[in-house]
A and B are shown apart, each in its own frame.
Chain A
Amino acid sequence: QWGNECQLDQLNVLEPSHVLKCEAGRIEIWDHHAPQLRCSGVSFDRIVIEPQGLYLPTYFNAPKLSFVVNGRGLMGRVIPGCAETFMDSAGGQWQGQGFRDMHQKVEHLRRGDTIANPAGISQWIHNNGNEPLIIVSVFDIGNNQNQLDRNPRAFHLAGNNPQGQVWLRKSQQEPQNNMFSGFDPQVLAQAFKIKLNTAQQLQNQKDNRGNIVRVQGPFGVIRPPVRGEQRQEQDN
């Protein structure tokens, strides 16, 4: 696969080759078939999340290193086997009346942050600022964590990509749906112990918002305050 790809006689400046437009942002993708990127074994993208935009949970076949170019926001990753260490409950009992939610760690993002994410770990990002949140990422598709082909492959847990994975250069590109949409809704209902219509909702079949959606209402995830942020409640 890596024949003569590094026999480069000339280097060029590279511009994004594909733009995926979403309800609350866009994803710009550089063509990883470009000789320089093929030689380096990487691909590159840039996501722009508008204020109140939410980049829905997605995982990739390769590790990635990201850099926050502009804006601020919140980011969460779900790591297999890790506990939900962020919990909001009045008495510490998650089945009681005071229980609201529990989830894995949520982190604040701001300009200059560099984020490392292993292959297969899903990540979501919310822009809670007043300006676009811009993040650039390099995907190390030549890394041994990637055991698929030398293409960046996104797996969406929610949302979808109506334009399809155009960077794969398939002759007939089809819209990309989320991972639940491929299962029989009955299987999902059995696995989640939920009603069939809720299982169908998980499939996002009638959704054309893309993978960055606009948040409806407040985004009240459990998160510690950033340094200098006022506490909402005063303890005695």
Chain B
Amino acid sequence: GLEETFCTMRCTDNLDDPSRADVYKPQLGYISTLNSYTLPMLRFLRLSALRGSLRNDAMVLPHWNVNANEILYVTNGQAHVQVVNDNGNRVFDQQISKGQLLAIPQGFAVAKTAQSERFEWISFKTNDNAKINTLAGRTSVLRGLPLEVLTNGFQISVEEARRVKFNTLETTLTHSSGQSGRRSDA
């Protein structure tokens, strides 16, 4: 039965087609992922991949890799990237450009802001079903916390905590200039 199963298992997929994007915002860019759900062969490899393309001034909301290390390779353009370690220290704060490689360990928080018309990268992740958790945005960790945890944890008012939780409506990509998705502060 190997001929009909393992031998014929699909082992290629194209991540450069915007029409199959998982996250798509015409003004900001797109993100496509490839994991063991979309390419079952990856279950054996325990690896997955993510293709990203950002337009100028677009930003990937700060996030961390829940269950994988990430190897990021820039294929086009430039971006400013900040990475924060478990000690809360900024361990990377630089512009990265085409041809450069950055390894981001599991749990470390990362934010990317495009600084060219088209910033594109490929990330390889060391888990076939790699997950991220965002720090800001509609599906972020702060959005899932009660207001009381935010007010006591950060020593801020209830109104400030509400803004922190609800002002950013996007889930993954946003404008770094801050105008997109912003709700009234009133």
Contacts and interface: CB of A to CB of B under 8 A. Distances in A.
Interface of B: 59, 61-62, 64-69, 82-91, 93, 105-107, 109, 111, 113, 126-127, 131-137, 139, 141-156, 160, 163-164, 167-168, 174-178, 181-183
Given A80-B132, A221-B146, A190 B178 contact: yes
Given A61-B107, A147-B68, A204-B154, A193 B167 contact: yes
Interface residues of A, number: 68
Nearest to A197: B160
B88 A178 contact: yes
Contacts of A213: 152-153
A182 B141 contact: no
A198 B148 contact: no
Nearest to A160: B88
Interface of A: 54, 56-57, 59-61, 76, 78-82, 84, 100-101, 103-104, 106, 118-122, 124, 145-148, 153-160, 164-165, 174, 176-184, 187-194, 198, 201-202, 204, 207, 213, 215-216, 219-222
A57 B146 contact: no
A193 B146 contact: no
Given A182-B90, A207-B155, A120 B64 contact: yes
A191 B168 contact: yes
A194 B167 contact: yes
B163 to A, nearest CB: 5
Nearest to A223: B146
Contact of A187 (B111, B155, B182): B111
Contact of A80 (B62, B66, B107): B66
B115 to A, nearest CB: 13
B126 A164 contact: no
A62 B60 CA distance: 26
B178 A164 contact: no
Contact of A76 (B83, B88, B105, B149): B149
Nearest to A207: B155
A220 to B, nearest CB: 6
A153 B148 contact: no
A199 to B, nearest CB: 9
Contacts of A54: 149, 152-153
